């Protein structure tokens, strides 16, 4: 049994969503925004298929589809973007237009940051530029690039007494729940980045404490510290009752407050989770890795009594996730299980070989591998659901386990039928 976490790095041949997918949840969160993805048919096709029915509900996002003339610079990109933004401004009148730069704008070196301020002035509507491209980022990191860009637009904070701002996009009910948990400790949350309206962005500056709610927000954290001179509270993330408790404790500690009744609150949640825990206790789990929530989820599942074989993760910021990593270590010791291997930039092919030899009880993976693994008798849960479900705070711990146990519960029903292996040539696994 190794005593410290080991980090490995593979080839980066893994499946994940393109980071432009962040528009899916961000346009819904920021209700007066409009997202313009400047890219090609490939980007459009991905969004249209990944977002499914949302497309048909007149979403507040669109593609600025680059054509051959744009690539070969026969068309003037400034005029083109100006034309489209004028149109959007006229048709939708948003409070902010967010340009999402893509791989193509990177390669042809389209100067989005240079053009945005000029067009912003001409149409009188703020334009924010985020480079959420697949060359540099994976899936949820898209949100990170948008929030980092948005942090520059927050008004300056001028008061003397310290203030707390939380960052990370959460559904409004979940944000309210977390705000409420802190209010129970006498802590006032003065704002969120992002708020549900662009016009309500929180004030930032020296004297403001900031704390993240999601593990993939490292650029935002850096921007808040370096550019807005805020003080970062490095805490584990409020995922699972253990994470939520540690998160609140850390904030209390920094703000010099003695936490009240946290023990009882956490215990009563664990109590209510017992039926789920009895289903997964002693079972093994394998994270293939695609959304950066993996460390926090693994830590929670270890605390629930599961054995984690491998945590695949697209990108590991050891500084931003430091508290989360040490809580994972502590939890493994406390539960007396060996530390999982953490594999950054995993290689899906190699992972499938490892899954074959380990035969874990549950594989948490993307949609590309779920059905093929299920056909080979391996139980899977698709990871994307964790991104869209409500998983933060005490209240939503149940939802995480609802997701984790669903395939196990389903397969429990089917297990005696004798047809769990459904491929003809099962030599592959």
Partner 1 sequence: MKLAYWMYAGPAHIGTLRVASSFKNVHGIMHAPLGDDYFNVMRSMLERERDFTPVTASIVDRYVLARGSQEKVVENITRKDKEEKPDLIVLTPTCTSSILQEDLQNFIRRAQASTDSDILLADVNHYRVNEFQAADRTLEQIISFYVRSNPNEIVQTKKPSANILGIFTLGFHHQHDCREIYRLLKDLGIEINLVIPEGCAVTDLKKLTKAWINIVPYREIGLMAAKFLEKEYKMPYISTTPMGLVETAAWIRQICKQTNSQMDYEQYIDHQTRFVSQAAWFSRSIDCQNLTGKKALVFGDATHAAAITKILVREMGINVCCAGTYCQHDGDWFREQVQAFCDQVLITDDHTRVGNMIAEIEPAAIFGTQMERHVGKRLDIPCGVISAPIHIQNFPLSYRPFLGYEGTNQIADLVYNSFTLGMEDHLLEIFGGHDVKTVITKNLSTDLIWESSAMEELQKIPGFVRNRIKRNTEKFARSRKLEKITVEVMYAAKEALGA
48 forms part of the interface with partner 1 (CB under 8 A): yes
Q: Is 103 annotated as a binding residue?
A: yes
For partner 1, the closer CB: 317 or 329: 317
Task: Report CA dihedral (114, 157, 179, 317) to the nearest 10 degrees.
Answer: 50
**Site track 9-38 with partner 1 (rule: CB under 8 A), x = hit:** ---xx-xxxxx------------------x
Task: Rule CB under 8 A: choose which of 23, 24, 26, 62 binds partner 1.
Answer: 62
Q: Provide the sign of the torsion angle of the four alpha carbons 26, 31, 32, 36, taken in this order.
A: positive
> How would you list the strands of the sheet with 231-232, edge to edge?
189-193, 163-167, 208-212, 231-232
Answer for the pair 82, 122: CB distance below 8 angstroms, yes or no: yes
A 10 A CB-CB count for 153 gives 13
Does position 159 bind partner 1 by CB under 8 A? no
* 419 near partner 1, rule: CB under 8 A: no
Contact with partner 1 (CB under 8 A) among 22, 26, 29, 40: 40
| Under rule CB under 8 A, residue 108 binds partner 1 | yes
Tokens of 368: 């590309």
- Angle at alpha carbon of residue 220, lines to 216 and 222, rounded to 5°: 110
Q: Which stretch binds partner 1 (CB under 8 A): 162-170, 184-192, 399-407, 421-429?
A: 421-429
Asked if residue 43 belongs to a known ligand binding site, the reply is: yes
> Does 388 interact with partner 1 (rule: CB under 8 A)?
no
Distances (CA, A) of 119 to 82, 139, 343: 6, 28, 43
CA gap 195, 202 in Å, rounded: 8
Q: CA nearest 46: which of 22, 71, 13, 29? A: 22
CB of 347 to partner 1, least distance (A): 10
The answer to whether residue 375 forms part of the interface with partner 1 (CB under 8 A) is yes
Out of 9, 73, 107, 183, the only residue in the binding site for partner 1 (CB under 8 A) is 107
Encoded tokens for 206: 């020296």
Q: How far is C-alpha 216 from the geometric centre of its chain's CA atoms? A: 5
Q: Where do the DSSP E strands lie in 338-395?
A: 341-344, 362-365, 380-382
Residue closer to partner 1, measured from CB, 77 or 324: 77
* Virtual torsion, Cα 19, 24, 25, 31, nearest 10 deg: 130
Residues 68-87 that bind partner 1 (CB under 8 A): 68, 70-71, 75, 77, 80-81, 83-84, 87
Q: Is 332 annotated as a binding residue?
A: no
- Which tokens in the block code for residue 122? 């001409």
> Residue 289 Cβ, how far from partner 1 at the closest point, in Å?
12
According to CB under 8 A, which residues from 322 to 351 bind partner 1? 349
Q: List, in sequence order, every beta strand (DSSP E) within 258-402.
A: 284-287, 307-313, 341-344, 362-365, 380-382
233-272 positions binding partner 1, by CB under 8 A: none
- Out of 106, 120, 317, 385, which residue is the one contacting partner 1 (CB under 8 A)? 106
Q: Which of 296, 251, 250, 306 is nearest to 273 (CA)?
A: 306
CB distance 130 to 101 below 8 Å:
yes
Neighbours of 412 (CB within 10 A): 12
Query: Which CB, 13 or 338, lies closer to partner 1?
Result: 13
How many Cβ atoms sit within 10 Å of the Cβ of residue 73? 10
Task: Pick the piece of the chain touching partner 1 (CB under 8 A) from 98-106, 112-120, 145-153, 239-247.
Answer: 98-106
Select from 277, 279, 337, 367 the one that contacts partner 1 (CB under 8 A). Answer: 367
For partner 1, which stretch binds (CB under 8 A), given 131-139, 188-196, 272-280, 334-342? 131-139
Binder to partner 1 among 136, 199, 200, 402 (CB under 8 A)? Answer: 136
DSSP 75: S
Which of 94, 101, 126, 134 lies at the binding interface for partner 1 (CB under 8 A)? 134
The single residue among 32, 65, 249, 399 that binds partner 1, judged by CB under 8 A, is: 65
First to last CA, the chain: 27
When the beta carbons of 115 and 208 are compared against partner 1, the nearer one is 115
Binding-site positions for [4Fe-4S] cluster read 18, 43, 103
Which residues of this protein are in contact with partner 1, per CB under 8 A? Answer: 12-13, 15-19, 38, 40-42, 44-46, 48-50, 52-53, 55-56, 59, 61-68, 70-71, 75, 77, 80-81, 83-84, 87-88, 103-104, 106-108, 133-139, 349, 352, 366-372, 375, 422-423, 428
Query: Binding site, residues?
Result: 18, 43, 103
């Amino acid at each position: 049994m190794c005593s410290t976490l080991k980090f490995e790095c593979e080839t980066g041949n893994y499946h994940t969503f393109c980071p432009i997918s962040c528009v899916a949840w961000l346009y819904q969160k920021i209700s007066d925004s409009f997202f313009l993805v400047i890219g090609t048919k490939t980007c459009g096709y991905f969004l249209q298929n990944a977002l499914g029915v949302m497309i048909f509900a007149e979403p507040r996002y669109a593609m600025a589809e680059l054509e051959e003339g744009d690539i070969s610079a026969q068309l003037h990109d400034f005029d083109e973007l100006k034309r489209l933004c004028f149109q959007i401004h006229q048709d939708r009148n948003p409070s902010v237009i967010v340009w999402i730069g893509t791989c193509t704008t990177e390669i042809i070196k389209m100067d989005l940051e240079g053009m945005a301020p000029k067009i912003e002035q001409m149409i009188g509507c703020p334009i924010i530029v985020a480079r959420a491209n697949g060359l540099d980022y994976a899936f949820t990191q898209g949100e990170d690039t948008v929030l980092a860009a948005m942090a520059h637009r927050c008004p300056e904070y001028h008061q003397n007494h310290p203030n707390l701002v939380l960052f990370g996009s959460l559904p409004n009910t979940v944000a309210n729940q977390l705000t409420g948990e802190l209010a129970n400790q006498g802590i006032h949350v003065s704002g969120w980045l992002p708020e549900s309206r662009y016009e309500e962005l929180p004030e930032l500056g020296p004297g403001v404490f900031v704390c993240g709610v999601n593990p993939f927000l490292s650029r935002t954290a850096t921007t808040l510290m370096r550019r807005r001179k805020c003080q970062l509270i490095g805490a584990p993330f409020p995922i699972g009752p253990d994470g939520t408790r540690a998160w609140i404790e850390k904030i209390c500690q920094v703000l010099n407050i003695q936490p009240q009744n946290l023990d009882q609150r956490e215990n009563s949640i664990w109590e209510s989770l017992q039926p789920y825990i009895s289903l997964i206790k002693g079972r093994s789990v394998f994270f293939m890795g695609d959304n950066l929530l993996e460390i926090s989820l693994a830590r929670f599942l270890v605390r629930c009594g599961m054995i984690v074989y491998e945590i695949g993760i697209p990108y590991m910021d050891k500084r931003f996730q430091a508290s989360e990593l040490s809580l994972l270590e502590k939890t493994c010791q406390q539960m007396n299980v060996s530390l999982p291997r953490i594999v950054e930039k995993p290689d899906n092919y190699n992972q499938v070989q490892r899954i074959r030899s380990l035969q874990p009880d549950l594989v948490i993976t993307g949609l590309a591998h779920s059905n093929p693994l299920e056909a080979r008798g391996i139980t899977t849960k698709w990871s994307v659901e964790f991104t869209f479900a409500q998983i933060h705070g005490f209240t939503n711990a149940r939802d995480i386990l609802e997701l984790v146990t669903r395939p196990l519960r389903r397969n429990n029903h089917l297990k005696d039928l004798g047809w769990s292996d459904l491929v003809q040539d099962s030599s592959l696994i």
